Amino acid sequence: FEYVSTIYALMEKGNTSLSYFAPWAPVPAHINRDKARRQLMGVIQKVMDRRRKEGRQEPDVLQDLMDKTYPDGSPVTTEEITGMLASLLLMGHHSTAVTASWTGLLLLQNKDKVLPELLEDIRSRGPADSELLKATVSEAARKQPPLTFFMRQVEEDILFKEYTIPKGETILVSPTLAGRCPAAFKDPEVYEPRRFMPPRSEHSSCPSAWLPFGCGANRCVGEHLAYLQIQMIWGYLVDRFELELVGELPETLHHGFVAEPKVPCRIRYCVRSAGSK
């Protein structure tokens, strides 16, 4: 586990802002990332070989990929399986963990504004069904979206206002700037989770301005799972502990693939007494 964890950390650090534009640039982060990827591929190959030798089937994603074939009957290669598993780990873990961190940090920075009502809602409806808790996650994702920007390739000429965007060009979209658009979100610099709840539902009036999970055909397939994970984490913590942010809200680091809070992020906590609010 420790070996794989080290490999994963090197791969994660190898995804920088530069990687968007020059993924093969010979910089230390990329060199270490590619070496770690080859090591991970070796680990996965050993697991696959052992399963095949023993004739063993496991109910997991790796087994599902091992059993898949292309229309021509050719199997999915180890390199392809490694890439898909690495994507699941990086995008399914890091971005969710960062959004969970921002959810708690922003909530505790504004605890007097939201926390009393949130605690009541969690206890009456449960964290998974708490609309205010979900809105709290949404507001954190609006103010601190996990990804710095999205890239899309233009497949045909597009006329946008007085501009023509030609086929073959690459468009960069910033979820951070979109989430602060005053035409879509009233007082965008203000922390207000209720903007995502009826009757306001500001994100519904301009869906393209709220982009932490992307949009369109390529919207993140793990969106609902991310919400469930984050709501369960903070639902448990808010219900059982008195929480307080220590110091100022951390600054945002944009040097990597995910815009994360600068460590240390300190929270003071103590166990709630029975029946406390």
pLDDT of residue 276: 62
How confident is the prediction along the chain (277 residues), in pLDDT tens digits per residue? Answer: 788 888 888 888 888 878 878 888 999 999 999 999 999 999 999 999 999 999 999 999 999 999 999 999 999 999 999 888 887 777 677 889 999 999 999 999 999 999 999 999 999 999 999 999 999 999 999 999 988 888 888 999 999 889 999 999 988 889 999 999 999 999 999 999 999 999 999 998 887 888 998 887 788 888 999 999 999 999 999 999 999 999 999 999 887 778 899 999 999 999 988 656 6
User: What per-residue confidence (pLDDT) applies to 275?
Assistant: 59
Lookup: tokens for 230:
């984050």
Structure tokens given for 14: 């190898």
Which residue type, as a one-letter code, is found at position 28?
P
Rounded to whole angstroms, the Cα distance separating 202 from 186 reads 8
Torsion 86-169-258-205 (CA) sign: negative
| Model pLDDT, residue 204 | 87
* Euclidean distance between CA atoms 116 and 122, whole angstroms: 10
Q: How many angstroms separate the CA atoms of 134 and 124, rounded? A: 15
Q: What is the pLDDT of residue 89?
A: 74
The pLDDT of residue 245 is 96
pTM above 0.75, yes or no: yes
